[in-house]
Amino acid sequence: MSHENQNRYENQNRYENQDQYGNQDQNRYGNPYASLAGRTAVVTGAASGIGEAVAVLLAASGSRVALLARRGDRLESVVEKIRADGGEALAVVADVTDDASVDAAAARIREAYGNVDLVVNNAGVMLPNPVDDGRIDEWRRMLDTNVTGVLRVIRAFTGDLVGAAAGGRPADLVNVSSIAAHITFPNYGVYGATKAAVTYLSQALRIEFGPRDVRVTNVEPGLTETELATHLDNDELAGQLDGMFDAVGGLSAAELADVVAYATSRPRHVNLRQIMVLPTRQA
């Protein structure tokens, strides 16, 4: 074996036996995501659904987690559950459609936990209706939440992520998009367009952040049991969605959280950049 190949082999073994902090035997306590211990995470849309499940799993894996959403009472309930299970969590009432609200939330998180090294952009709304209904108010709400809201959160924490990576620590930005970014559904055109924007943004950000060792992961769920379905005010579309769940079955929020935890717990030189997660029958 050449000297070069020997070094490559030794380096590969070193990566396999260490977590992303360089700690040996990360699974010795039986937690597959033990390498997340000691990290500081922000999860938006954390009052329910995927965001709640991600926050709970990250905290159970040893991360300090700041939960962001508009519903303070619901956030406090989730935080109490996390703390009762021995985790560390902070409820931060914030609206991703408001610049000042996001900036204030970031300041509060840094005051409590210091700089952040893991951001999960999950907040979103789904308001499907025929385009010829002309519901500009709904279009603005989806664009401001699903696209500009994502950008506001990225702006608030980019410095933290870049700083963590420069210090040799893992740094992750996870954007929750949707299968609707690729597959068109009748009457979901504007929603799908906002998610396509998130998927494209994630791809573009890798070019900016990747050379600085910040990982960008884009997760695109298919049918998932969340509160998004309750946003529908169109009985016909609501019935169609119910029929899809009956025929195909949906993913649970916990199953999506498992995907996020897996991606962010890899060694820091490994980026699972694009993850499409569908129920088997939907695929």
HSE (CB half, 13 Å, CA atoms) of 68?
A: 27
| Active-site residue (options: 15, 21, 113, 191) | 191
* Nearest residue to 174 via CA among 97, 274, 45: 274
The full length of the chain comes to 283
Residue 9 is inside which H or E element, if any? helix 3-17
Determine the Cα–Cα distance for residues 252 and 53; give it in Å rounded to an integer.
9
String of DSSP letters for 127-173: ----GGG--HHHHHHHIIIIIIHHHHHHHHHHHHHHHHHHTTS--EE
Q: Which two tokens stand for residue 98?
A: 């408001």
191 part of the active site: yes
Catalytic residues: 191
